[in-house]
Structure 1
Amino acid sequence: MLDQSALSFELPLPVSDPTLLLVDDDKPFLCRMSRALDQRGFLVRTADSIAQGLSALEDSAPAHAVVDMRLGDGNGLEVVAALQRKRPDARAIILTGYGNIATAVTAVKLGAIDYLAKPADADDVTAALLRSAGFTVEVPENPMSADRVRWEHIQRVYELCDRNVSETARRLSMHRRTLQRILAKRAPR
């Protein structure tokens, strides 16, 4: 069994302002990530929609933000842009399960310092938030295969469609029976 204390990531001090806004519409993920970032020394405020995120920014602009790209009521880039207007020195990260180059470029242009694919863990998020400018990311030793990335995307859309095969197939522009065969198989490595 692993020692949990060995897995914890200590927040390097001094961080002059540990305030953080976490915006995600996936409530279980929001709770887990909030708890994990709180344990790492951040003062976390959460929001589960664009409207709540913008409202939280009106109260006080945090020094850090972690924002999901696709939310039920819009695009998380709205929150990043609003944060940068209120506090230009804030460090924001975009999390997404739908990564592509165009949205990554847009996120960086709007002020995000990084763009992480879900599922990202708290250590990845903390490292990205505290990374100094000019730092280059190491290539993972064992990256996910293209088949695994495709499978993860299909699973996410399937869950977002409340496990409705017909709706998922329609949204993925895929034949329903093909999707059923994919869902019946084990996850690729």
Structure 2
Amino acid sequence: MKLLIIEDDKSLAATLNRRFTKHGFNCFETHQADEVLHSCLQLKPTHILLDMKLIDESSLNLIKPIRAALPKVRLVLLTGFASITTAVEAMRLGADDYLAKPADTKMILKSLTGINSNNEAHEIETDTMSTERLEWEHIQQVLNCNEGNVSATARQLGMHRRTLQRKLQKKPVSK
């Protein structure tokens, strides 16, 4: 399995490289947006971790060209600037998953491979999720990163705490 890590933070890229090498990936790094397509065509990775912000550019505009060059690649977008709007846009453009930083190794590995940390295979959804379901999943992920702190989660999502509490009281939307 070849993993291309597209991340402008070289120390984070090196850390991800070490972590995923231990999990059986042959890892490569690219740090600039203008190198991405060349690296994809040259290396032909099976998996890609794409940072949403490369220096001062959004990497959302790289998803379609990557998908055109490598239609079967498993593409996961990582971002420190998570929002429901960008999550929906990334999935619409062809990303397979969208993870907010900080995402731990187990979460990224699960997203890349479709295997839980206890090595049980799970089904990777092939259908596109509804916007409501994507929003629910994103809220749960941010809430988990904030260790259940509703106020911190509301601030990170840019919504009022009471609005978030109402959304959390609803049952998850099916696909």
Q: Structure 1 length normalisation: TM-score? A: 0.63
The 5 A counterparts of 1:49-64 are 49-64=32-47
Radius of gyration: which is bigger? 1
- Structure 2, unmatched stretches of 5+, are 115-122, 127-132, 158-175
- 1:36 corresponds to 2:19: yes
What is the Cα deviation at residue 33 of structure 1? 0.7
Aligned to 2:113: 130
Q: Does 1:21 align with 2:11?
A: no
Identity among equivalent positions (%) equals: 28
Shift, 1:152, TM fit:
7.4
**Structure 2 residue 47 is the aligned partner of structure 1 residue 69:** no
CA drift of 1:58 comes to: 2.8
Aligned length: 135
- 1:112 is paired with a residue whose SS is coil
- How far apart are the structure 2 equivalents of 1:146 and 1:98? 18
SS at 2:44 equivalent: coil
What displacement does 1:150 show? 7.2
Structure 1 distance, partners of 2:92, 2:16, is: 25
TM-score (norm 2): 0.67
The AA in structure 2 aligned to 1:37 is: F
Structure 1's 63 and 21: CA in aligned 2 closer, same or farther, altered over 3 A?
Answer: same
RMSD: 2.7
